[in-house]
Amino acid sequence: MNEIIWGPGMSLAAVEKLVILKAYQFFRFNKTTTANALGISTRTLDNKLEQYDKEAGLAKEREMYEQRKREEFLARSRGQLPNNINTAFATPQIPGVLGTHAGARMESIANTAEKPAVSMQERVEVQKVLPADAPKGSTKGKR
Tell me the pLDDT tens digit for each residue of 45-57: 999 999 999 988 8
Residue 38 lies in a domain: yes
pLDDT band for 40, please (50, 70, 90 cuts). very high
Range with the poorest average pLDDT among 5-9, 93-97, 104-108, 119-123: 93-97
Residue 5 lies in a domain: no
Range of the domain at 31: 12-109
Element (H, E) at 98: strand 97-101
- Asked whether the CA dihedral 69, 70, 75, 79 is positive or negative, the reply is positive
- Residues 64 and 85 sit within 8 Å (Cβ to Cβ): no
Measured at the CA of 48, the angle between CA 45 and CA 52, to 5 degrees, comes to: 135
Residue 114 lies in a domain: no
Residue 16 lies in a domain: yes
Count of CB atoms situated within 10 Å of the CB of 23: 18
Mean pLDDT of 72-96: 63
Between strands 104-107 and 97-101, the pairing is antiparallel
DSSP state of 112: S
Structural domain tally of the chain?
A: 1
Residue 131 lies in a domain: no
pLDDT of residue 99: 46
Residue 87 lies in a domain: yes
Residue 2 lies in a domain: no
Q: Is the model more confident about 79 or about 141?
A: 79
DSSP state of 10: -
pLDDT of residue 75: 86
Q: Which of 83, 84, 108, 88 is nearest to 97 (CA)?
A: 108
Residues found in the chain:
143
Residue 125 lies in a domain: no
Q: Tell me the C-alpha distance between 95 and 120, whole Å.
A: 31
Mean pLDDT of 37-41: 96
**pLDDT reading at 27 higher than 90:** yes
Q: Which of 13, 28, 20 is nearest to 45 (CA)?
A: 20
